[in-house]
Structure 1
Amino acid sequence: MNDNLNERKPNGFALFPLILFIIIYLGAGIALSIQGKEMAFYQFPSVTAMFIAVLVAFLMMRQPVGESFRVFARGAANEDVMTMLMIYILAGAFSAVAAAMGGRDSTVNMGLTFIPTQFLTAGIFIISAFMGTATGTSMGTIGAIIPIAVGVADKGGLSLPLVVGACIGGAMFGDNLSMISDTTIAATRSQRVAMKDKFRLNFWIAFPAALITIVVLLVIGRPEHAASLGSLDFSAIKVLPYIVVLVLALIGMNVFLVLTIGIFLAGIIGIAMGGLSVFTFAQNVWAGFTGMNEVFFLTLFCAGMSEMVAKMGGIDWLIQKLRKVMKGNHSAQIGISLLISLVDCATANNTVAIVVTGSVARNVSEEYHVDPRRTASLLDIFSCVLQGIIPYGAQMLSAVALLNQYMGSSKYAPTDIIPYMWYNWILAIVAVISIFVPFADKVIRSNPWNWEYDCAESNVEAAKKAQEEARDE
């Protein structure tokens, strides 16, 4: 039995597995970028990098493998983690079924049909924002909208980098707010808050940023001449599952029930309209489940490893160091925002960044009485801000690849798009202002967080962990 582990003394070296994960993931991306590989930061699977880090954590525990595994399993089997994993696969199934029955294409075409061409740039931002919010995927939104939007923008004499920037910005708006986005799921479950509370708080920060962006795009994004979009087919009923899921989630229905209703509603519409059969419906549900493999295993491994890091004193050491620069509630919020931003830059994956920093952010929130609903909001906002801007992020790389594919050349690079990421830059500014001028907090002020109850609940959990550790040893 290791006394240091029992006492959980602060131990900076215990963070080495997490640092190793970032070094492997970031290092592989940089090395492949130098070699000129496409999507370089996504060639070395994040799950493999995390698996290596987990193995190192086992070696560092200096205990029999069986005892170390009990610690790992305690973290991986945490109720919040299991809830997160179930929501991931249900969200994946809903997105897959809704897209397969034609819902995604109908959403894009319906938006483009009703938006006048002279307002196309702002319209693309709005369509992307709705699509991202409805589907919960920024990558899917970019992949669906950019091929259409770039063609129309080119005919209308619009700046193509401006249009692509508007599309990515709208997609990140949706990724940030969507009830079924993996970033929302990770942020809310890691901080143990309700999705609707985080949405309401987030909305009052993201919405002003979106309005300012729309005004900017209306002023600078008018085409030189109007271009005809031609005939775009859509079916309003195929958009219905997205709207139902959004509305049910906002009124507070249990997220498992919301997603299950969405899956079967999309399936029924698809079967009734001939886009799906019972068998293809079942196949798409399974495809949706397996499509979440990466984030599923990454979360599982990270949760288990985080428990091991905490037992070795890594989290206590990090909090001890953060205390030196965090003097109060506001500086703690700035610290959380900087932490998630740096980790997202290192991992180039906003969900990974939230999973990695979630437990640390929760501890900081408890220490400085930052409302966990605000912490969840900050984690989601700043991870999405950086994810949309970094030139090696999947969203930016995918958008540029689609743009160059349309142009039939390699004319454009991520650096051509970054200056036009108006929404992301504006969102970051509005979010920082909201820390010092809490205009968005009015939506949670009427229901203040019960710190006494929350801490008591945490103490109960801590006592249970102590009992389990005592049995293990």
Structure 2
Amino acid sequence: MKNEIDKAQEIQEGPKANPIALLPFILFLGLYLGIGIYLQVTGVEDPFYQFPMPVAVSIGVVLAFIILKGTVAEKTETFLAGMGEKNILTMCTIYLLAGAFSAVSEAMGGVDSVVNFGLSLAPVNLLTIGLFLITGFISISTGTSMGALGAVAPIALGFAQETGLSLPLIMAVIIGGAMFGDNLSVISDTTIAATTSQGVKMRDKFKINLFIAVPAALVTIVLLFFFSGTPDELQTGGYDYNLIKIIPYIFVLIFAIAGGNVFLVLTSGIVMAGLIGMLYGELNFLTFGQEIYDGFLSMMNVFLVSLITGGLAKMVTDAGGLQYLVDSINKRITSKNSAELGIAGLVALTDAAIANNTIAIIINGPIAKKISRTFKVDPRRSAALMDIAACVMQGALPYGAQILMVMGLTGGAVGPLDVIPLLWYQGLLAIFGIMSIFIPFANKLIKDEPWDWEQEESIEG
């Protein structure tokens, strides 16, 4: 966390605003989404995989090298520093392990067993709701949306394949659940960054956040109940499953909920699935290794995108692109309501520029604190709004870690525009968050325990 805070301070004190620095990102998104949308409209199969995302973002990097100031050596150093950033490498490692766990578990027959076991216990029309709640519970318990997705996504994929339910909807549901839990978790990086930067207690931010996130989750559950769809063919009994082959999934879920290290949990799950596969003759030592490698390869597209995007984000940020967004929003803040909108907007746009919700909050923390003091926005409100804005944007970015992971696990069967319109929770969270600015339904804590501005000013003075 200290390295992230130092980095954020460098950004705030460093480059001058430069709108030109945003052009590489605009080119990247324009190429990828523009070509994908055109191909989708013309009926081309797998439209968002015809022009690979790693190539699109690489073209953005080339433009950054051409138009941004500095020597080639300096720009290369900045690009490599962004690629090697701790959070980027963490995400990439999770991608690889999740891909390997999914591949090995499927090869040993675990997917069929866990899906059939689930179908034997729960009605199909409640599966999407169950997946949303399970993913949310894991995420809120562990404080990491990526860890929750790594644990649940292989199971969710199996449910979609077995029941005929919409694969994009299933993937959107677990992303929504992961962001729901991450947003409310008191141990997530985003919560820690938001509360620390605003000088508030986690429990106070949680209380305000709860009145916004829970209604969004409840409406999402209602929508899922009525609009999840029905399977093509529904079996009423006689599901064939092997409880032993379910053990790796149970292990991963339990230890993820218990807060186990995500790398250790997924690695242990891979080994356990491999050993069970060899016990039942589904795998041998060589095929076990091949399945792990195939799982790695299945995530290579998202691995490359995250790595290259990290480098591009660092170049854009250091060249002043991010500062331009910050200055643009600051100029439009004139009242308490616009101040709250501005705080949320700053975090959302910053996250869109760097695809890292924790860093987006850290960068804008001091700015949000200054805005809050000027326009008397309760810091507990600003902390909640920052976390909500980061959650909404991060969970809906076509090049964000969450969507990239499910795209990788589906092997190209799902594109970003297939998933994004179905991210009901993120959309509802945004709506409830904006409503809370103009209709103070989430401000009971603020009314009962008003913020002591005089004490804060005396402390800072």
**CA distance, structure 2, for counterparts of residue 165 and residue 305 of structure 1:** 28
**CA distance, structure 1, for counterparts of residue 426 and residue 69 of structure 2:** 45
Helix, strand or coil: the match of 2:45?
A: coil
Summarize deviations over 1:39-79 as a string: whole Å, max 9, x none. Answer: 32332111101101111111123433223211212222223
Q: Identify the residue that residue 344 of structure 2 maps to in structure 1.
A: 334
The one-letter code matched in structure 2 to 1:379 is: A
Asked if 1 retains the 8 angstrom alpha-carbon contact of 2:388 and 2:430, the reply is: no
**CA distance, structure 1, for counterparts of residue 286 and residue 105 of structure 2:** 15
The one-letter code matched in structure 1 to 2:367 is: E
Helix, strand or coil: the match of 1:234?
A: coil
Summarize deviations over 1:346-387 as a string: whole Å, max 9, x none. Answer: xxxxxxx87277755542244215888975664344554687
Aligned-residue identity in percent: 33
**CA distance, structure 1, for counterparts of residue 156 and residue 265 of structure 2:** 25
Gaps of 5+ in 1: 1-5, 152-162, 344-352, 388-392, 403-412, 442-473
**CA distance, structure 2, for counterparts of residue 269 and residue 170 of structure 1:** 30
The one-letter code matched in structure 1 to 2:363 is: N
Match of 1:136 among 150, 165, 171: 150
Q: Identify the residue that residue 363 of structure 1 maps to in structure 2.
A: 363
C-alpha displacement at 1:13, in angstroms? 0.7
Q: Identify the residue that residue 390 of structure 2 maps to in structure 1.
A: 379
Residue 323 (structure 1) aligned with residue 323 (structure 2): no
Residue 121 (structure 1) aligned with residue 131 (structure 2): no
Q: Identify the residue that residue 75 of structure 1 maps to in structure 2.
A: 82
What is the aligned length?
Answer: 387
Give the direction of change, closer, same or farther, for the CA distance of 1:333–1:24 in structure 2 (3 Å limit): same
C-alpha displacement at 1:232, in angstroms? 1.7
**CA distance, structure 1, for counterparts of residue 66 and residue 94 of structure 2:** 32
Summarize deviations over 1:405-428 as a string: whole Å, max 9, x none. Answer: xxxxxxxx989x97x986665555
Q: Identify the residue that residue 93 of structure 2 maps to in structure 1.
A: 86
Helix, strand or coil: the match of 2:259?
A: coil
Asked if 2 retains the 8 angstrom alpha-carbon contact of 1:50 and 1:302, the reply is: yes
Asked if 1 retains the 8 angstrom alpha-carbon contact of 2:95 and 2:303, the reply is: yes
C-alpha displacement at 1:114, in angstroms? 1.3
Give the direction of change, closer, same or farther, for the CA distance of 1:75–1:173 in structure 2 (3 Å limit): closer
**Aligned positions of 1:161-172 closer than 5 A:** 167=170, 170-172=173-175
Residue 40 (structure 1) aligned with residue 51 (structure 2): no
The one-letter code matched in structure 2 to 1:245 is: V
Asked if 2 retains the 8 angstrom alpha-carbon contact of 1:101 and 1:238, the reply is: yes
Q: Identify the residue that residue 96 of structure 1 maps to in structure 2.
A: 103
Residue 248 (structure 1) aligned with residue 255 (structure 2): yes
Q: Identify the residue that residue 410 of structure 1 maps to in structure 2.
A: none
**CA distance, structure 1, for counterparts of residue 39 and residue 424 of structure 2:** 29
Give the direction of change, closer, same or farther, for the CA distance of 1:218–1:110 in structure 2 (3 Å limit): same
**CA distance, structure 1, for counterparts of residue 243 and residue 443 of structure 2:** 36
C-alpha displacement at 1:216, in angstroms? 5.7
**CA distance, structure 1, for counterparts of residue 54 and residue 67 of structure 2:** 20
Asked if 2 retains the 8 angstrom alpha-carbon contact of 1:385 and 1:427, the reply is: no
Q: Identify the residue that residue 261 of structure 1 maps to in structure 2.
A: 268
| TM score, norm. by length of structure 1 | 0.64
Residue 286 (structure 1) aligned with residue 298 (structure 2): no
C-alpha displacement at 1:306, in angstroms? 1.9
Asked if 2 retains the 8 angstrom alpha-carbon contact of 1:14 and 1:312, the reply is: yes
**CA distance, structure 2, for counterparts of residue 126 and residue 53 of structure 1:** 40
C-alpha displacement at 1:320, in angstroms? 1.1
Residue 149 (structure 1) aligned with residue 181 (structure 2): no
Helix, strand or coil: the match of 1:275?
A: coil
Residue 8 (structure 1) aligned with residue 15 (structure 2): yes
Gaps of 5+ in 2: 1-12, 139-147, 195-201, 370-378, 399-403, 446-461
17-26 vs 371-380, greater mean Cα deviation: 371-380
The one-letter code matched in structure 2 to 1:68 is: K
